[in-house]
Amino acid sequence: MTAPWPPGLVPFQIDRSHTTPITAQITATLRAAIIEGRLRPGTRLPSWLDMASQLGVARGTVKAAYEALADELLVFSAGAAGTRVAERAAPKPVEAKQIDIPRPLQGLERGFSLRPLPFQMGVPAQDAFPAKLWARLRTRAVRANAMAPVGPPDPRGEPELRAQIAAQLAITRGICCHPDQIILTSGYKNGLCLALMALGVQGRTAWVEDPCYPVARMGLKIAGLKPIPIPVDAKGLRVDMGVRAAPDAALAIVTPGQQAPTGVTLSSERRAALLAWAEREDAWIIEDDYLSELQLGGRAAPAMAASDPAGRVIHIGTFGKTISPSLGLGFVVAPLALAARFGEVAGYLNPAPNVTTQLALTDFLADGHFLRHLRHMKGLYRERRDALHARLDPGIVVDAFAGLSLVVHLPRGYDDVALAKRAPEYGIAPCPLSVWYANPAEAQPGLVLCVTNLRAQTLDKACDTLATLIDEGAAVPVAAQAA
């Protein structure tokens, strides 16, 4: 079928002063006419020569525009019959402004790729990140990777990196494992996903700490498990209550090193009880070791995976806190009996992330930078935490030094979520405590104040703003806060 060329429907406006090349302007005009249906399938475009003289441009310019449209499958060359509009033109792209897809992690993250604010969780001390060294290691890794023979990479991660991590874990976490028990991931969430897939526990129940990292609770739900909140006290998870509430749970997710968000360390009796339950019930313990050796109060407690003779602990580590979440690297240590299964899942469904980042991290570990960096960060974060503690308004009740944060309590009935929502407008980003609980409405309100990026020059202003916002929030009646 040949449809006539309708010049009036294709209004060309060639602008020679514009930075967009003329070829691209012609392509865009024709593309729009085809996609919007003004040029019907089968329509023959004018010859290059005719179009060029009509528009006052060179013949080659039109030719290049037609070729670009052919690459997009919008037109085709019909030999002597000229260039024609293709039968099935590409669908009209939906205009971005019509779309309103909610971003993920609403209510948990204030947005993505935003400049971190004082008190914000999940961000490292940007000023202490060894940026130059990291850039050098990455450049070297990119070059080495580009020169290397191209074969499929090990889906569990580069063997040298896994060997380095195994060596570091022995030193910093007391874990004795074979490098083939280690699977590289993009961080904690990816490690959890890998573990849940490998364990095949969909439809089962799982213990979660109450309070706990909200991602763990929601992640379980998304993966088709039913989280059962188990209270935490000064010795960590109430294992006895877990055994009573859900003895046949498939697994328990715990933060034994420094409970998130309370900071308590799981006592040795509770560890033994948890391991005994897992062994008895054929259940698993997922150890979220998010802070690794970053214990500001002294030497970090050993990992649970360090004393797990029955092989019930799946240890999830991340470089998100110890180096930076921007690396997008973490790892899982599978119990020996499950190492092959985890490797298979990585191979088929969840291969290790980007090789060049892995190679750069390998050098970072092998050359001793990691342990040096850890030592430096511990000192820096301790200083920042103490400075915050000393500077906080005396009316603010500090409940705990927890991980890299201070936890402060607010009066019962206080709407900590509303405060946290307003805070970024005033340049700070504290995290509400109640969202860490399974039942926020009945939870203790408070704020988790992360100290990592709290520099001396921002401390005073951040603390004054916090005190003002807390006072203002207290002045709002609870009913109005909830509205």
The site for ligand PLP (CB under 6 A) is made up of 121-122, 187-189, 213, 255, 260, 288, 290, 318, 320, 325, 330
Q: Among residues 175 and 260, whose Cβ is nearest to ligand PLP?
A: 260
Q: Identify which of residues 329 and 462 has a Cβ nearer to ligand PLP in the complex.
A: 329
- Which pair of tokens denotes residue 395? 């009316």
Rounded to a whole number of angstroms, the minimum distance from the CB of residue 410 to ligand PLP is: 21
Quote the CA–CA distance of 389 and 410 in Å, as a whole number. Answer: 16
Listing DSSP states for 36-77 in one string gives: TTSS-TTPBPPPHHHHHHHHTS-HHHHHHHHHHHHHTTSEEE
For the CB of residue 188, give the shortest distance to ligand PLP in the complex, in Å.
3
Give residue number: closest CB to ligand PLP: 320
Tell how strand 226-233 and strand 205-210 pair up: parallel
Number of Cβ within a 10 Å radius of residue 221: 11
User: From the CB of residue 467, how many other CB atoms can be counted at a distance below 10 Å?
Assistant: 15
The closest alpha carbon to 315, from 304, 326, 300, belongs to: 304
**Least Å from the CB of residue 62 to ligand PLP:** 52
Considering the complex, what minimum distance in angstroms separates the CB of residue 431 from ligand PLP? 9
**Least distance (Å) between residue 117 CB and ligand PLP:** 15
Alpha-carbon gap, residue 240 to 347, rounded angstroms: 38
Per-position DSSP letters for 350-381, written without gaps between them? -PPP-HHHHHHHHHHHHTTHHHHHHHHHHHHH
CA 353, CA 338: separation in Å to the nearest integer?
21
The distance of closest approach from Cβ of residue 112 to ligand PLP in the complex, given in angstroms and rounded to an integer, is 13
Cβ distance to ligand PLP smaller for residue 89 or 121: 121
Give min distance, CB of 437 to ligand PLP, in A: 14
Q: Minimum distance between the CB of residue 296 and ligand PLP, rounded to whole angstroms?
A: 15
Q: How far is the CB of 8 from ligand PLP (least distance, A)?
A: 57
Return the structure tokens found at 291: 């802070």
Residue number, 66 or 293, with CB nearest to ligand PLP: 293
Which DSSP letter does residue 285 get? E
CB closer to ligand PLP, 288 vs 293: 288
- Cα Rg, the chain, nearest whole Å: 29
- By C-beta, is 145 or 262 nearer to ligand PLP? 262
Shortest distance in whole angstroms from residue 259 CB to ligand PLP: 9
CB atoms within 10 A of CB 96: 6
Alpha-carbon distance 362 to 184, whole Å? Answer: 12
What CA–CA distances, in Å, run from 457 to 130, 223, 270?
21, 43, 42
For residue 146, the SS3 value is helix
Euclidean distance between CA atoms 20 and 93, whole angstroms: 21
Which is closer to ligand PLP, CB of 243 or CB of 254? 254
Considering beta carbons, is residue 325 or 347 the nearer one to ligand PLP?
325
Residue 42 or 116 with smaller CB distance to ligand PLP: 116
Among 190, 160, 178, 170, CA closest to 360: 160
C-beta closer to ligand PLP: residue 69 or 212: 212
**How many CB atoms lie under 10 A from the CB of residue 38?**
15
Q: Beta strands 284-288 and 251-254: pairing type? A: parallel
